[in-house]
Structure 1
């Protein structure tokens, strides 16, 4: 009870004394999977503040329910389901990735896979862009939305069709963001020197060698190319169709009033930022609640050894059987109990100390005093919960940013990683025992936890405040730079440098010419005297 009071009493006080927008109306464009877990928590808090929330979802959505107490919904039927809304999409993607990393594919096979990946990415955004088309072409729906008089559009720009709708409705926008079309959101809105800011898709620290900076530059250019020629064309076509050539989609994307960035610099490397970015990393974290009687009994049976938690997130249903068999064999050799969120086939060699579950209260288990380590894939939500509760991590990164996330914790001495493509019972067991028996991992994570918790305002309060701020003031243009509207040569001062170089060359030419002229005159005057 004390933990509950410790969390909600400050929230209650802040909500009572802070300015609010009574009866505000918020239109929400979310993204599936773990992104929705984040967005759902935020709109629950906004609803608790008295705001009316309307969520735009697709008819094939498998996470976003059509009816919930804290929001209304607008369901849009697309010509075909967005690929990421199909549960087996990520399983097939992971299987192919593991095959390539194990050396099971030739160079041509790798290039074919990369091309297929780009085509899949293009298809996902082509399918997602049709959400805007279906809404724009439904005049009745658009008129109903206009008649509702929304105050703000809250959206996840990972699939940015909502940006086009917000522009059509002439409403201020707030991004609940970590990832955007070109990768990590900072690269779109803030200066991002690639000399020390690792780019999306490249797992490196902020202290890069010369070779690493070359690789970082390569990935930066590659990301920009993919964004411009694979992703954005689908949205550019819609902008041309509905708004004409004077509107640029990328400018709409960069022109959001407020960016609620799911980042905390306890975890992220320091980097430049902007006034309209509010940092809400770990806003989903909260004190643990009591476990069910069954789980509590299992946890208590671990005795002095404690227990290990394992979860690989919401997107991937399960690892290949050959990997889960090796993990199960390693778990069977340790004295700790194991709670494993596992949706695939049950390993035949599962030890008596291991409990398989389809779902578990992850936050509550991470906050339990008997927790010893967290085996995780490196998803952002799980990492911040582990930081919040001070639990060291054994990382098995599988897809996307998970490799970068685990590396960030490794550089801080709070995690160790195992390559899934090379995982066997021996190296996995060694990694688990290293985290269990080397106290520096837990000490370093406890230090991160102290830093993460030491804030003037809970990150969820920060998120709610800035959404309401944008609603109160009809935007936040005073915090937003218009530098993105500048041509590239002006943004990087290429024209100024060229002008200064030209002026320097002109001045040099004048000086040289003057000296030569004086020398010539001097020679002319000396010659008659000598004669």
Structure 2
């Protein structure tokens, strides 16, 4: 009797052999220094996945944190007190700032409004960076805390460099640094480490496409100059003071940012304009996106009641309660005239003219609603998280950008024919109604967004898996210096080869001067020389001929 072949044993052996050859990373210790608000929403996705893979996560937060909870199952936290009077991480502070920005933007066409708008923005940014630096000083001056952090022997620091507190902590602890990044303290992250010609790469706040006419290029240059101003006078001085205090006079915050081992860039070139890049930039745009799951019963019932018309969802992100009442009334009026059902994430007073087709909720499962087959459009402010979820599920957008990068995000979708963007400060109900009807009725918008969705999903590895691999790569190899250019250590004149140009110009000038000098000497020599004619040189020349010659 022939025995059965031991397939189970064979399979187990093959699996063991494959596992031996796979790169592995033992349970590591990761210190996370995040930014609150919507930035924490996407950082938290990575933290959860790292915890699920067995890594120990410690999150640094302020005691007044808005979104980052002190206790969670997937991380432990270190809570740092902020000095009294600093409340930038409160929802009230951001809502108040938004209302002020909207008020100023109503006169945006005038140069005075432009100046006032940016003065307010610079003031808020300076206050925010000052608060982060105060938090870092509190940490550094707590010797027991810093000793505990050093004794923990973390493998790396994972931070968002939109505020650079985590950069300073990583330097202090001498740890490899990984960024979860799109923005840094001066603007878009690529500008710090990759060649970024502003002739075709839009800068933060410029609201221009990559194909620019002369006026748009001038506008792009203006905003590039504003970015330089922010770096020099608004953000960097706060951090550079700490660099000089704790690390010495030769260290500055911009160089520390440029020295990061790995940049996990929240970008997908399905969405972003093409541009030069660097080896230590890993793209993970849309890493937080996932297939839709079933809705809560009451929401599912409301969605199904929409029939063939489908639903529209609206969310303006973490700043939802900063909208003026007159604006929410206009939005409610437009929604009430549509045959579609509307699910609106709204916090605050109920609009007086709310239609029967509109359901107000304080929270909604945005990803699951975007993935529902009855969803027809998404009214959004243009935050990165919502934009990528809309791309993932192929839902066209009607954009109402409020502040920061939201304008630039929506411009990118509008250029690709997947969004209709409105100016919120001059919005009336007719404008919103017309835009919604256009997006709902014209298949152009849905077709373009679904094409972006197909391109975004057509990848060899999921963005989250890619991000996790590279984080563990840095942990396994104690950094990734071989991927990082050292150009940030060069003086600006060396980086732009001005020293070479100067030497070549000097050589050319020296050659020209030498040639000119030789020519002038030869000319001088010729003018002072006279012919030396004598009889001995020509015995046949008679005396009279010699005399006549000189006459």
TM-score (norm 1): 0.93
Q: 1:527 to 1:446 in 2, by over 3 A?
A: farther
1:85 corresponds in structure 2 to 89
**Deviation of 1:119 (Å):** 2.2
Distance 1:430 1:17 in 2: 59
Deviation readout 1:135-164 (Å, 9 max, x if unpaired): 111111111111111110001111111111
1:3 corresponds in structure 2 to none
1:315 alignment partner, SS class: helix
1:482 corresponds in structure 2 to 486
1:203 corresponds in structure 2 to 207
1:440 corresponds in structure 2 to 444
Distance 2:499 2:30 in 1: 43
Q: 1:157 aligns with which of 161, 170, 186?
A: 161
1:388 corresponds in structure 2 to 392
Distance 1:326 1:16 in 2: 62
User: Which of the pair has more CA radius of gyration?
Assistant: 2
Q: 1:43 aligns with which of 42, 47, 59?
A: 47
**Deviation of 1:344 (Å):** 2.0
The yes-or-no answer on 1:508 pairing with 2:512 is yes
Contact 2:105-2:113 at 8 Å conserved across structures: no
The yes-or-no answer on 1:329 pairing with 2:294 is no
The yes-or-no answer on 1:95 pairing with 2:99 is yes
1:278 alignment partner, SS class: strand
1:315 corresponds in structure 2 to 319
2:541 corresponds in structure 1 to none
Q: 1:494 aligns with which of 473, 495, 498?
A: 498
2:371 corresponds in structure 1 to 367
Contact 2:157-2:175 at 8 Å conserved across structures: yes
Q: 1:409 aligns with which of 383, 404, 413?
A: 413
**Deviation of 1:525 (Å):** 8.2
The yes-or-no answer on 1:180 pairing with 2:194 is no
**Deviation of 1:388 (Å):** 0.4
Contact 2:105-2:117 at 8 Å conserved across structures: no
Distance 1:47 1:149 in 2: 17
Distance 1:109 1:440 in 2: 36
Contact 1:341-1:359 at 8 Å conserved across structures: yes
Q: How does 1:240-259 map to 2 (within 5 A)?
A: 240-259=244-263
Distance 1:122 1:15 in 2: 50
Deviation readout 1:407-452 (Å, 9 max, x if unpaired): 1101000001111011111111110011001101011111111111
The yes-or-no answer on 1:117 pairing with 2:121 is yes
1:56 corresponds in structure 2 to 60
Distance 2:257 2:120 in 1: 26
Structure 1 gap ranges (5+) = 1-13
TM-score (norm 2): 0.90
**Deviation of 1:317 (Å):** 1.8
The yes-or-no answer on 1:170 pairing with 2:174 is yes
Q: 1:417 to 1:148 in 2, by over 3 A?
A: same
Q: 1:427 aligns with which of 431, 442, 445?
A: 431
Structure 2 gap ranges (5+) = 1-17, 534-548
Contact 1:80-1:127 at 8 Å conserved across structures: no
The yes-or-no answer on 1:298 pairing with 2:302 is yes
Aligned-residue CA RMSD (Å):
2.2
Q: Higher mean Cα deviation, 426-435 or 515-524? A: 515-524
2:543 corresponds in structure 1 to none
**Deviation of 1:212 (Å):** 1.8
**Deviation of 1:330 (Å):** 1.0
Contact 1:32-1:84 at 8 Å conserved across structures: no
1:67 corresponds in structure 2 to 71
Distance 1:345 1:31 in 2: 29
